[in-house]
Chains A and B, each alone.
Chain A
Amino acid sequence: MGLSLTKAAQWTTAGKLEFTPMNESLLKELLSFVEDFSSRHPQEAEHVFEEPLRWSTTLGASDFKTDYYISGIDVQSHEKDSGGQPLLQLSPPTVCVRSFSQLSKLVHLAADKKLEELRACLEENKDAMVKILGPCFADILEKEDTHTDVLHLVDKDQGKDPEFKINLFHLLQNMNKQLLSKLLEEIEVELNLTALKNDIESLKRLCSEGEKRLLKSVRYTSDFEFSNGCRAPLWRQVYGDICYLVVEPCDTENLYITCSTAGFFLNGGIKQEGAESGYERTSDTYKDLLTLLKSRSPYFAEHINKQASAVQELPSTQSVHRHVESVDMEEQGELQRSYEQQEKNVQDKSRKQHLLNKKKYEPCPRWKKLGLMSPCGKAEERKSRNSSGMEMSSEIRKKKQGSGAKSKMKAEFSLSSLPGRLSSSQKIKTPARATELSSESSSQSEEEEEQSERRLESNTDLPPEYWQIQKLVKYLKGGDQTATVLTLCAMLDFNLMQETCQLAIRDVGGLEVLINLLDTDEVKCKIGSLKILRKISHNVQIRQTIVDMGGLQSIVKILDSPVKDLKALAAETIASVARFRRARRTVRLYGGIKKLVNLLHCVTNLASLTANQQKDVEVARCGALALWSCSKCTKNKEAIRKAGGIPLLGRLLKSPHENMLVPVVGTLQECASQESYRIAIQTEGMVKDLVKNLNSDNEELQMHCANAIFKCAEDEQTRDLVRKYKGLQPLVSLLAKVNNKQLLAAATGAIWKCSISVDNVAERFQEYKVLESLVELLTDQPEDVLVNVVGALGEFAQIPASKTIIRQCGGIKPLVNLLSGTNPELLVNVTKTVGACATDQDNMAIIDQLDGVRLVWSLLKNPSADVQSSAAWALCPCIENAKDSGEMVRSLVGGLELIVNLLKSTNDEVLASVCAAIAKIAKDKENLAVLTDHGVVPLLAKLTNTTDDKLRQHLAEAIGHCCMWGSNRASFGEAGAVAPLVRYLKSKDATVHQSTAMALYQLSKDPSNCITMHEKGVVKPLIHIMGSNDKTLQEAAAGCVRNIRLLAVANRKAILFY
């Protein structure tokens, strides 16, 4: 972690992590590592860091839920170290974290901001390893990847749990390796390794004894060769190092040479494997080994030319462009797998990746080459037969110094583009492709040819499109409108969806020209420019550049144009540019949303449209497309609503054309996350159209419609409308589309939400046999489908008949299996559904048999409060309906302690659910005894001051049941639980009265409690409750009054007799 971070990650000078693909993947890896850490390695996660990790966070107190003490804006974790220091402390904007468990909780809490949090954490804790493990451990980790024995360190270490620490150390070490190897996958080894090996072998042959020998010895520093052919340690491979050589020339001292993808150079003296230092470059970089040797050993240089035969044996190492795959590593521990095994699959993969990379970087290898070769300075005068590539670059450089901008156009261009790009390309791929020059060993005569010819030769490295596009951009710059339009048309002939062309346009400065054209008055030029922009903006980088250049503002302005074609094109371009936040924001800030909404005005439902009206429809379609892209952020949704977009979208929803409906419904379903939209969709009568389009043949449209219903059916009226318009059946039939997971997720989601209305379940869904289909979807589905399917089953199971069907279809087992998942959303639904199923005795038997209760119980440990409460709720029916539930509960080791501890939660829902569960558990006397031992009484008493009616109800219930053991009644009284309970009788909620009356009845069996109750005026409300229709309630209230009365009578008697 530390190693790969400090060495492999690409930092900007300001100490920030750059936004490069490599860093992104690094971060993502780290994130998943941190996220899963506490669940995978709970013990190691508890280990307290040597020093806290501190960084400024974007999280606030409101982001923290249970397990944290929140006071104002400060937050402290419940978890503390042995010294009583909280393991997480937040005083905005700084957060201190001292264990992995807290770190992963924090990452979970951060939700969609987790990547930023991790990034900030890393940026501000570059020495994270030292902080976590302490300096001595971290040192080892930094040094080598080999399994160093760390045991001796433990002796020195005063830590309390050395075992965990070692484990943690190993975990981090593994992580480190994984990261490095992941990174290696992204790095290409440029040099032809076989050629390099041959070279070295031939050099070794030159070392033969006798007068003729040119070198004394040549050897590798390491005998171990990695599967990718490299001998350098993994972390150096990240830098492009391939292997290290020690060459003993005849005339000078030993040469320590690094062979890297960037070339060959002398290092600080790496003598053997595993050296810790000396990797730095101490000489110029040479293109090939021979040149380096010649420059360092005059003897070698002199004799090598004589040995013609020997020379022929030396092939050029320079540059056959070949890709060598690095270690393919996906799972933890795979590093230890034997390397031979891997080699098989490595090759295919390498080929694929090669193609990929090649495509990606095609446009600018030339710059890279120039950038990389600049260090090889002095080598240029050397008459090496292999150094043509290098000379060429130096020639170009000379030209730069000499004639500057006056040189030929092509050279001029590459120079001008160099400065900005150089640094970044070097960073992106340190060992970037050295050169793609052909590998033929050029003869002496060829070398003396004209420069221009050479340049041409090297120019051929770029795809022909590149030069053509460059030429066209030149015409764009210097042409009048006629020439511009012709040129734009010519440009449109290129395959603009191809990345090579897209980037070529940008790289030759075409994007600027295209954007400038948008600000002219020439309609045709604008149309042409937009036609190009709408295509090339499918490329992420182009999109960003357009926004950076302020192009989006110009495009937004065009939306006001009277020319319809122009408006449509501008909207379409916005649709493809506004795929990221900054762009969407720009559109809004420049009033684009309003303009886009204005485009939606058109006549759609006429049978025959005039040409003009058709154009309006097209404009509206493009406007809807653009709004769809823009609607992915909340403020834009609001802006669309304010601009009056909803009724217009509603009108377009009646269009018969799929290509119109998809963006319209897409926008609506995107916006339906806002309540205002959901209401509007319902009141403007769009549900009918949405339902209608569920029957479309277009799966994308069906998906958006189902999604819209999914989001809107939170509302009961909408659910009824869906039923009214006969939308349930098409939804059910969508369940058959098992191959389209997105559609399936949307459809199951809609069914889930619709099934919240019992009418829907009872009247419709049952007859469509939907339960059977849903149960089938419980296995082998992606999580977003599962969440919805299980959610739907949970709703269905509210009806007794469904429970039987679920069992009969074999649904219980997959449900119980899902309990061991990790997705909180899914777990909430699964526990809910299992709980609902458990209300049926036969189902419960199966759940018990599958050990489902233990699984539910262990979910109480889940960090998510929602999961905790949902699990606790599910436990209630389980305990109630299980055979011999007391024994079952006792068999769960530590279970009772766990649940009692949850009473310390700060979440009312969790508390209510836990109280409910405790009430059920306490019905078993033995278990109640254990609960009491774990201190359930004071904890419950502490909660009595709540005003939450749901919590009050279950709390009173729990208190009532907990009274049945030992001196608990008295203890409740001592803990001050009685007086607040009396206040509960003033609550408006009848259920609260019921459970409170029961609890008071139990408590009143203790005389001192009776006194408290009487003091607090319990009798009057109780007498009132006695008039209730509920018999148990009547009895409880009467019983309580009786106890109070008896006490009073006894008292009087006592006074009378004594």
Chain B
Amino acid sequence: MSDMSSLNRKLIQTLAETISKQVDHFNKTEVECLIREFNVLLGECAASGRAVNGLDKEKFRSILHNNFGMTDDMIMDLVFRTFDRDNDSFVSLKEWIEGLSVFLRGTMDEKIKYCFQVYDLNSDNYISREEMFHLLKNSLIRQPTEEDPDEGIKDLVEITLKRMDHDHDGRLSFSDFEKAVKEENLLLEAFGTCLPDIMSTEAFEQHVFQEQLVL
């Protein structure tokens, strides 16, 4: 068993070394911690040595919910989709670390890119009016008295589109989005919270990097 764990540790260290060269924002120790955390999250699957593809959607959603206080199922799915780059319905170790690199410590540019990917539902590199509507459809309390309960949301979409659509083509390209966010940082998470706030980031890092080192 000790052979096993020492072998494991060795493996992890090598892996960490490779990955830390490919990913920004994390040093080797931190990557190591993240790998451990990943393994813990994978639970017994990893311990039993069976081939595991990674974190599935359910698991990932519960992480987002428990650690980063996200509640919106739709947004959580979208975040999962963005993490899962190869679209195999699992977040692999590499995807996990790459994703977290932006998620926790991304620069403004990286975050803009990330958020844009999250909001670009059909991955056509544009956020269309319909996509915005879809993203915002639950964001206003519907007033039953109104003839068209969606009127408010439609209006909000129009207002936002007008503000952000710099090339006036009725949809947001990446450069539209980027420009708007740089003008007003608040627009980064314009269509739903898909990044953790500073407190949960700190709490998570504390949990992963410090508590694990002690172990």
Contacts and interface: CB of A to CB of B under 8 A. Distances in A.
A481 interface: yes
Interface residues of B, number: 24
Interface string A472-491: 10110011111101111110
Interface in B171-203: 184, 186-187, 189-193, 197-199
Contacts of A557: none
A786 interface: no
A480 B140 CA distance: 6
A931 B156 CA distance: 90
B8 interface: no
A482 B195 CA distance: 12
Contacts of B163: 489-490, 493
A486 B160 contact: yes
B187 A489 contact: yes
B160 A485 contact: no
B156 A485 contact: no
A383 B133 CA distance: 49
Interface residues of A, number: 25
A523 B198 contact: yes
Interface in B118-137: 135-136
Contact of A483 (B139, B186, B187, B199): B139
Contact of A527 (B135, B152, B186): B186
A864 B140 CA distance: 67
Given A486-B156, A486-B160, A478 B189 contact: no
A480 B138 contact: yes
Contact of A485 (B138, B152, B186, B199): B186
Contacts of B191: 482
A532 to B, nearest CB: 11
B24 interface: no
Contacts of A486: 136, 139, 156, 159-160, 187, 190
Nearest to A406: B145
Contact of A479 (B141, B187, B190): B141
A107 to B, nearest CB: 52
Interface centre among A482, A487, A488, by most chain B C-beta atoms within 10 angstroms, is A482
A485 B189 contact: yes
Contact of B159 (A490, A527, A531): A490
A1056 B160 CA distance: 123
A contact face: mostly helix, strand, loop, or mixed: helix
Contact of B184 (A478, A482, A492, A523): A492
Interface string B83-127: 000000000000000000000000000000000000000000000
B193 A475 contact: no
A528 B190 CA distance: 12
B156 A487 contact: yes
A488 B159 CA distance: 11
A471 interface: yes
B62 interface: no
Contacts of B197: 523
Contacts of A531: 186
Given A478-B141, A478-B143, A483 B156 contact: yes
A140 B184 CA distance: 66
A483 B157 CA distance: 10
Contacts of A482: 135-136, 139, 189-193
Interface in A105-155: none
Contacts of B139: 479-480, 482-483, 486
Contacts of A475: 140, 152, 155-156
A801 interface: no
Nearest to A490: B159
Contacts of B189: 482, 485, 524
A480 B191 CA distance: 11
A562 interface: yes
Contacts of A479: 139-141, 156
A918 B185 CA distance: 77
A282 B155 CA distance: 51
A490 B160 CA distance: 7
Contacts of B143: 478
Contacts of B138: 480
Contacts of A485: 186-187, 189-190
A492 B186 CA distance: 11
B155 to A, nearest CB: 7
Contacts of A930: none
A472 B152 CA distance: 10
Contacts of A480: 138-140
A540 interface: no
Interface in A438-495: 471-472, 474-475, 478-483, 485-490, 492-493
A563 interface: yes
B144 to A, nearest CB: 12
A478 B152 contact: yes
A703 B139 CA distance: 51
Nearest to A481: B193
Contact of A471 (B135, B155, B190): B155
A493 B180 CA distance: 12
B198 A478 contact: no
A841 to B, nearest CB: 73
Nearest to A527: B186
Interface in A482-527: 482-483, 485-490, 492-493, 523-524, 527
Contacts of B140: 475, 478-480, 483
Contacts of A488: 186
A489 B152 contact: no
Contacts of A483: 136, 139-140, 156
Contacts of A523: 197-198
Interface in A551-586: 562-563
Nearest to A483: B139
Interface centre among A478, A485, A523, A528, by most chain B C-beta atoms within 10 angstroms, is A485
A1007 B44 CA distance: 124
B26 to A, nearest CB: 18
Nearest to A566: B198
A486 B184 CA distance: 11
A493 B198 CA distance: 27
B152 A563 contact: no
B156 A489 contact: no
Nearest to B69: A521
Contacts of B152: 474-475, 478
A101 B140 CA distance: 68
Contacts of B156: 475, 479, 483, 486-487
Nearest to B108: A611
Contacts of B198: 523, 562-563
A485 B189 CA distance: 9
Nearest to B142: A478
Contacts of A528: 186
Contacts of B186: 485, 488-489, 524, 527-528, 531
B152 to A, nearest CB: 6
A524 B181 CA distance: 13
Contacts of A490: 159-160, 163
A49 B80 CA distance: 88
A343 B141 CA distance: 58
Contacts of A474: 152
Q: Which 8 residue pairs of A and B lie closest in terms of their CB atoms, listed nearest first?
A: A483-B139, A478-B141, A480-B139, A490-B159, A482-B139, A479-B140, A482-B192, A478-B140
Given A486-B187, A486-B190, 20 more contacts: A472-B159, A475-B152, A478-B140, A478-B143, A479-B140, A479-B141, A482-B135, A482-B191, A482-B192, A482-B193, A483-B139, A485-B186, A485-B190, A488-B186, A489-B160, A489-B184, A523-B197, A524-B189, A562-B199, A563-B198
23 contacts: A471-B155, A475-B155, A478-B152, A479-B139, A479-B141, A482-B136, A482-B139, A482-B189, A482-B190, A483-B156, A485-B189, A486-B159, A486-B187, A486-B190, A487-B156, A489-B160, A489-B184, A489-B187, A490-B159, A490-B160, A524-B186, A527-B186, A562-B199
Interface of B: 135-136, 138-141, 143, 152, 155-156, 159-160, 163, 184, 186-187, 189-193, 197-199
